[in-house]
Amino acid sequence: MIVQALHEIQHRFHYLPAEELHALSQRLRVPLHRIHEVASFYPLYRLQPPSQVDVKVCRDMACHLRGAEQLRAALTAQGNELGGAPARVVVSGVSCLGQCDYAPAVSINDNVYRGKTEAQLRDLVKLAAANEPLPHQHADRSPLGWKIDPYNGQPRYDAVRRFVEKRDADGIINALKVADLRGMGGAGFRTHLKWSAVRGTPGAPKYVVCNADESEPGTFKDRELLRRTPYLVLEGMILAGLVTGAAKGYVYCRHEYEEEIEVVTEAIVKATAKGFCGENILGSGLSFSLEVFVSPGGYIQGEETALLEAMEDRRGEPRNKPPFPTTGGLFGKPTVINNVETLAWATGIVLNGGEWYRDQGINGAFGMRFVSISGDVKAPGVYEVPFGQTVRDLVFNTAGGMRDGQRLKAIAPSGPSGGFIPARIKRELLPEKFVKERLAPGAADYDVLDLPLDLNTVGAMGGMLGAAFVVYGDRADMVDNALNCVEFYRNESCGKCVPCRIGSEKLVEILIDLRAGRLRRQELGVISELADVMGITSICGLGQVAANPIASVLKYFPEEVEKHLSRQ
């Protein structure tokens, strides 16, 4: 109840006044420190009254690449001109708002704006400073003819109907197995294993949680799926619930996706009214209710156990494992946690069969996926593509090619977490097995444009494949961009474990020195050492990958590092 109660107080006062927190503590009979540790943890909450105009400019990856820093400086200057004491306009940075295809994204008094020019933004700031209401920027909700959507915008919940008639849980799990559907949140865990594990674990109630907390820089595909096909996600959740025997499902959604939350909430109301979820589904005697849980914010909430902690009214810090959520998840109960896209695909797979999905893959890979592409390309956006599509095809056909006449310098095929892959990789930097399979004898390097994008191949090359795909042209300074990514992790670290909490900060401090030309060659060694220790001792994925951006630059772009070293 703490999280919801804080939402409510903030909604009323635009911040959390201390008197209200005292009153809440008495009302809920919860000690003050418990309320404060939650209230001070999540970025959504303000403990001080906000300024009249609260401007936040996204600082991560695609927005950084597209001039967010300069934009922030310009808006800060405008704020200074508007003056006031305390300042009427306060401009600050914010972590990825999930609008990388319209970079740079800016939020003004909690309204998110995308694709606006500096002049348009200045007008909006002026409007807010004059206490005028701010316009909402609506996004398109219509279907785009995707293969994932068997209903093409007209939901019928056929898979739920079919389950209620046949009660074939084994059939559903088998279809997921044949499809080889993997988790689309980035970790790639096999969906059928997760569902069977929860199904086979005793305990009640069980839960299904849809992870819609998409917050990784460069990742925004769930945003489109939630807004255009909410019914597919809900149907996937209902199926997961019916198969595993769960009683309740939550869509855990980042609070910045206001429009998506609205769409999903409407879809739940509709589905419940028609009897596809809720009590006694289609007269079957089975029940499974759905609810949206609005995240109080922070990238770390996308980590599945941190997300559960937030739902349990605590600081969103990842848990030590075991237990895993399949056996001890929400409130210690067996819980399925799946990404938005995974659940949406599950619906199609149950309706069309596992083979249908599996056979969409090309170049020896299985299945399809949604990719969020951003950075220095002409047509950034969300695309439904087959697994196995080459980098060349993705960048030059799907995304329309490089913008501003730049040449491809690097890709980040998993956002910041997998680090940067150069356009060409030297033979000696590739694993032996990969060289044997993919390089022509005598070739000095590997052209990354040839790389088929599927989990196994990218992994074999020594990289990671996620839902983000950020493209860097030849004007990008890789040390600067590595620092930008490490700063993101430092900003978003929950602070629970030492390697991540202090390690990410120290990395940032070292990289600031490097970028400024103050670091000497002999001081480079500690970076790799620190990166290794963070990778093997951090509790969760955030700390484990936080050093990857700079580790990859040290490995693949030594000449750029060289350029920045101190000459003394």
Contact (Cβ atoms closer than 8 angstroms) between residue 57 and residue 63: yes
Applying CB under 8 A, which of residues 18, 73, 187, 516 lies at the interface with another protein?
18
Tokens (6 digits) for 151: 């209903």
Q: Does position 361 bind another protein by CB under 8 A?
A: no
Nearer to another protein (CB atom), residue 54 or residue 505: 505
Sign of CA dihedral 189, 191, 193, 197: positive
Q: What is the DSSP string of 253-264?
A: EETT-HHHHHHH
Q: Which two tokens stand for residue 348?
A: 């199609």
Residue from 509, 517, 520, 563 touching another protein (CB under 8 A): that is 509
- What is the C-alpha separation between 253 and 295, in angstroms, rounded? 6
Query: Looking at 504, 547, 549, 556, which residue binds another protein (CB under 8 A)?
Result: 504
What are the phi and psi torsion angles at 256 (to 5°)?
-70, -20
Alpha-carbon gap, residue 1 to 263, rounded angstroms: 24
Size of the site for another protein (CB under 8 A): 56
491 sits near another protein (criterion: CB under 8 A): yes
* Spatial separation of the C-alpha atoms in residues 541 and 497, rounded to whole Å: 12
Those residues whose C-beta lies under 8 Å from the C-beta of residue 153, and which sit 6 or more positions away, are 142, 143, 228, 229
Those residues with Cβ within 8 angstroms of residue 108's Cβ, 6 or more apart along the chain or in another chain: 53, 54, 55, 56, 121, 124, 125, 128, 134
Closer to another protein by Cβ: residue 40 or 152:
40
Cβ proximity to another protein: between 408 and 500 the closer is 500
CB of 518 to another protein, least distance (A): 11
Q: What would the x/- binding string for another protein be over residues 522 to 561, using CB under 8 A?
A: -x--x--xx-xx-xxxxx----x-----------------
The nearest distance, CB 424 to another protein, in angstroms, is 29
Q: How far is the CB of 41 from another protein (least distance, A)?
A: 5
49 binds another protein (CB under 8 A): no
Nearer to another protein, 289 or 537 (CB): 537
**191 counts as binding another protein under rule CB under 8 A:** no
Out of 80, 120, 320, 397, point to the residue binding another protein (CB under 8 A). 320
By the rule CB under 8 A, 315 interacts with another protein? yes
Binding residue for another protein, selected from 85, 204, 440, 444, defined by CB under 8 A: 204
Q: Is 420 in the site for another protein (CB under 8 A)?
A: no
Q: Whole-angstrom Cα distance, residue 180 to residue 468?
A: 21
Question: At residue 71, what are phi and psi to the nearest 5 degrees?
Answer: -60, -40
CA separation for the pair 353, 356 (Å, rounded): 6
In Å, how far from its chain's centre is CA 136?
23
Residues 55-74 that bind another protein (CB under 8 A): none
Tokens of 463: 């990289």
Nearer to another protein, 110 or 513 (CB): 513
485 lies in the site for another protein, by CB under 8 A:
no
Single out the segment in contact with another protein by CB under 8 A; choices: 83-91, 114-122, 381-389, 499-507.
499-507
Question: Applying CB under 8 A, does 24 fall inside the site for another protein?
Answer: no
Closest to another protein by CB, 379 or 526: 526
- According to DSSP, residue 390 is labeled B
From the list 34, 403, 438, 515, which residue makes contact with another protein (rule: CB under 8 A)?
A: 34
Cα Rg, the chain, nearest whole Å: 24
Helices 169-179 and 158-166 meet at what angle, rounded to 10?
130
Binding segment (CB under 8 A) for another protein, from list 40-48, 84-92, 139-147, 265-273: 40-48
Amino acid at 181: L
- Closer residue to another protein, CB minimum distance, 2 or 176: 2
Measured over the CA atoms of residue 211, residue 213, residue 214 and residue 217, the dihedral's sign is negative
- Site for another protein, rule CB under 8 A: 18-19, 21-22, 31-37, 40-42, 201-204, 298, 300, 315, 320, 322, 327, 332, 490-499, 501-506, 509-510, 513, 523, 526, 529-530, 532-533, 535-539, 544
